[in-house]
Amino acid sequence: MSSHGPAVALTARAGGALNGVADVPGDKSISHRALILGALSVGETVVTGLLEGQDVLDTAKAMRAFGAEVMRDEDGTWHVYGVGVGGFAEPGQVIDCGNSGTGVRLIMGAMATCPITATFTGDASLNSRPMARVTDPLALFGARAVGRAGGRLPMTIVGAADPVPVRYATPVPSAQVKSAVLLAGLNAPGQTVVIEREATRDHTERMLAGFGAEIVSEQTDEGRVITLTGRPELRPQTIAVPRDPSSAAFPVCAALIVPGSDVVVPNIGLNPTRAGLFYTLQEMGADLVFENMREEGGEPVADLRARFSPDLKGIEVPAERAASMIDEYPVLSVVAAFAAGETYMPGVKELRVKESDRIDAMAKGLRAAGVSVDEGEDWWRVHGRGHGAVPGGVTVETHLDHRIAMSFLVMGLATQAPMTVDDGGPIATSFPVFRDLMAGLGAQIEG
Ligand code: S3P
């Protein structure tokens, strides 16, 4: 089982305003997809701005194991020489996806309609997460899966030698499940259809179209219906990965709660399937503006400017917005602690099956730090204490979850007493430069 090495405790303390420009790294979701689709096209795909976090590096390694050539230039440009749809070779070793649910689920989809067998594993967090949500639809294509009890990794997938196309309505709002089905559908003859009741991030659909696949999305009474025509010849692309709105969330939220702060986070993708947090913060009274709104590569992009916001108020976050900000609830709950009144967050059951049970992990840490939290299976409520009134002064458990670690470190920049996380190591999975970037703004985070 993989692990990131010995735990590294980190402590964040209040120490003055945050100021400056925060250049956050490339989008994690788009980075995984660029490597996988590059590996499934014939010829050279060139990727700039790739997130070089451990999750994505594990996907690069996996693509090599399936036969693609993946190289990095000294200047950080990546080159993928793909093997084509249906061209994956059988890996000679177990595929270790580390901490990454996106990596393992998308790769399982991509190999499930190839006549090969592969075994997948990950760290303790990933090996406790549910995989049946992916292996159930992959079985409809003709693939077989054998894993541990409860559909957990380590798991072996025997790809379908003679795959059939599938029509599948996703039972949970999950871009990973949708993407696994679409990637499997690439090597099935005919049309594969995915129906999702709530729209989730659409990077796979956009990128498949960019690589030349025939893919159509329609909004119907059933929800979003996505139809992919199988066995396309994917054409290699040049991809500039936009910066990650989920990483931007941390310096943005820190600026809102630390008195005197003024931070600009440039070039952030505001794809509507990802940008829910920023609209939620504005509804809470945040001084958060989108500057230089423009289009790049078919995506809305802006520079985010966040300033200390003394009058934050709690709100009800609409349940239908959950998919567009699912990774941002942990740091939103931190901002909610510094707001006046209650922030109610319904429709978020999926938070319980992320890198950790994120409602449980945040609720425990917030309560220890002096903030009351109520919770149910699919909702939670944070009782804000207002600025300057959050005690802090505790060590919290991060459960191998990068976003829990970063959320509590952001919190510690504005609590009365410092906040310590038991292990900052997992931050490297998605945001390896987090500490340096925050230090550059003036944050005091020490190991
Ligand atoms: C992701 C989808 C989401 C998200 C994850 C990245 C993706 O997971 O939480 O961080 O890149 O498709 P689910 O599909 O499980 O909602």
Separation CA 362–CA 358 (nearest Å):
6
Domain ranges of the chain: 10-25+244-446, 28-164+179-187
Q: Output the residue whose Cα is nearest ligand 1's atom 5.
A: 102
- For a pocket test of ligand 1, which of 51, 56, 176 has the largest count of ligand atoms closer than 8 A to its C-beta? 176
Q: How far is the CA of 177 from the centre of ligand 1 (A)?
A: 9
Which residues have CB under 6 Å of ligand 1? 29, 102, 174-176, 179, 201, 326-327, 350, 354
pLDDT of residue 210: 95
Query: Tokens standing for 432?
Result: 């390896």
- For a pocket test of ligand 1, which of 106, 174, 177, 403 has the largest count of ligand atoms closer than 8 A to its C-beta? 174
Q: How far is the CA of 274 from the centre of ligand 1 (A)?
A: 10
pLDDT of residue 1: 38
Q: How far is the CA of 62 from the centre of ligand 1 (A)?
A: 19
| CATH fit for domain 10-25+244-446, picks 1.20.120.420, 3.65.10.10, 3.40.50.1000, 3.40.50.300 | 3.65.10.10
Query: Tokens standing for 371?
Result: 């903030």
Q: Which residues in 209-226 are b (16+ Cβ under 10 Å) and which e? A: bbbebebebeeeeebbbb
Separation CA 391–CA 398 (nearest Å):
19
pLDDT of residue 3: 57
Q: Pick the atom of ligand 1 nearest to 29's CA.
A: 11
Does 298 score more than 80 pLDDT? no
Q: Pick the atom of ligand 1 nearest to 326's CA.
A: 9
Q: In percent, how much of the chain has pLDDT > 90?
A: 97
**How would CATH label the architecture of 28-164+179-187?**
Alpha-beta prism (3.65)
- Main-chain dihedrals φ then ψ at residue 208, nearest 5 degrees: -60, -45
Residues 6+ apart with CB under 8 A from 355: 99, 101, 125, 126, 129, 399, 400, 401, 402, 403, 404, 426
Q: What is the DSSP string of 348-400?
A: -GGGGGSSS-HHHHHHHHHHHTT--EEEETTEEEEEEE-TT---B--EE--TT
Does 296 score more than 90 pLDDT? no
Residues 6+ apart with CB under 8 A from 243: 23, 24, 25, 26, 27, 49, 265, 266, 267, 268, 269
Read off the pLDDT of residues 220-241 as tens digits, 9 standing for 90 and up: 999 999 999 999 999 999 999 9
Read off the pLDDT of residues 112-144 as tens digits, 9 standing for 90 and up: 999 999 999 999 999 999 999 999 999 999 999
- Mean pLDDT estimate for the chain: 97
Q: In percent, how much of the chain has pLDDT > 70?
A: 99
Residue 184: name the closest of 27, 32, 36, 350 by CA: 36
Q: Pick the atom of ligand 1 nearest to 33's CA.
A: 11
**Which residue in this structure is represented by tokens 């993946």?**
70
Q: Output the residue whose Cα is nearest ligand 1's atom 11.
A: 29
With 0-12 CB in 10 A as exposed, 13-18 as middle and 19+ as buried, what is 229? middle
Read off the pLDDT of residues 311-349 as tens digits, 9 standing for 90 and up: 999 999 999 999 999 999 999 999 999 999 999 999 999
More confident residue, 148 or 297: 148
Q: Which residue pairs from 281-286 have beta carbons closer than 8 angstroms and sit at least 24 positions apart in sequence?
A: 281/252, 281/253, 281/256, 281/332, 281/335, 283/315, 284/312, 284/313, 284/314, 284/315, 284/335, 284/336, 284/339, 284/343, 285/309, 285/311, 285/312, 285/313, 285/339, 286/256, 286/312, 286/335
Q: How far is the CA of 31 from the centre of ligand 1 (A)?
A: 13
pLDDT of residue 382: 99
- For a pocket test of ligand 1, which of 99, 326, 431 has the largest count of ligand atoms closer than 8 A to its C-beta? 326
Q: Output the residue whose Cα is nearest ligand 1's atom 10.
A: 327
| Catalytic annotation, residues | 327
Q: Pick the atom of ligand 1 nearest to 350's CA.
A: 16
Separation CA 264–CA 328 (nearest Å):
19
Q: Pick the atom of ligand 1 nearest to 32's CA.
A: 11
Domains 10-25+244-446 and 28-164+179-187 in one fold: yes
Q: How far is the CA of 121 from the centre of ligand 1 (A)?
A: 18
Q: How many CB atoms lie within 10 A of CB 269?
A: 23
Q: How far is the CA of 160 from the centre of ligand 1 (A)?
A: 25
Q: Considering only CA atoms, give the Rg of the chain.
A: 21
Query: Tokens standing for 250?
Result: 């941390």
Separation CA 426–CA 55 (nearest Å):
10
- For a pocket test of ligand 1, which of 201, 328, 348 has the largest count of ligand atoms closer than 8 A to its C-beta? 201
Q: How far is the CA of 301 from the centre of ligand 1 (A)?
A: 20
Q: How far is the CA of 391 from the centre of ligand 1 (A)?
A: 33
CA atoms lying within 13 Å on the CB side of residue 447: 11
Q: Which residues pair with 296 in a beta bridge?
A: 299
Q: Output the residue whose Cα is nearest ligand 1's atom 16.
A: 174
**Any idea what the Cα angle at residue 329 is, between residues 304 and 359, rounded to 5°?**
165
Does 201 score more than 90 pLDDT? yes
Q: pLDDT band for position 4 (50/70/90)?
A: confident
Q: Output the residue whose Cα is nearest ligand 1's atom 15.
A: 174
Separation CA 100–CA 102 (nearest Å):
5
Q: pLDDT band for position 295 (50/70/90)?
A: confident
Alpha helices in 128-264, H assignment, sequence order: 132-141, 175-185, 203-210, 245-257
Q: Pick the atom of ligand 1 nearest to 28's CA.
A: 11
